[in-house]
Structure 1
């Protein structure tokens, strides 16, 4: 599964937990290494219908409150990935950058991280998600 699909899966998972009243837990949505999540497989189709009614800003804000750390997920790709319980290492960000065709700045630079965050936001919006601002 692609890293972007993992981002979408996590957001959809947390949004559905918030609707059902369950506490969002990054570990609960994390498949074991080598596994794929059966609940989320195919969550992002060509149309991305799974994000159509998701208020990403509200979902991530509630998750950040539960997380308890001062993560700047609104503008930091590293903090966004951490909030979702995903790998935020340089290698993971390089993989995501290649996946989204983001080639700004040097690997791991602020310029690349900003461009990568913007690309993720744009792609989430293109899949129907509502991003704050």
Structure 2
């Protein structure tokens, strides 16, 4: 459908698809292996720290967030393509990760999770003894 704007007699702007259904975004994600831990970075623009929920149940790490539009005093919104919506992503974790030590931080719209590897999963050197 075309997204043309039309001018009404009262000089406001009308949009042909004014109704928006609730949106759930799947945040773009990068995963890195740093040897002793995995790092997951998720792009979640518009989500505040207090609007993020991270849960871990039965080896499934679930990340949810809510992007809210900001109210601006004295401003009247006449058109917006960026709306409110939810972010959601889930990852199945192996038992090779230390789930008790998972850490998360949000900076500049990027959620970064650090998942340390369990001691049993870390690379180690095995010494050879003379027989």
* TM-score, L = length of structure 2: 0.21
More helix by share: 1
Q: Which structure is larger by alpha-carbon Rg, 1 or 2?
A: 2
More strand by share: 2
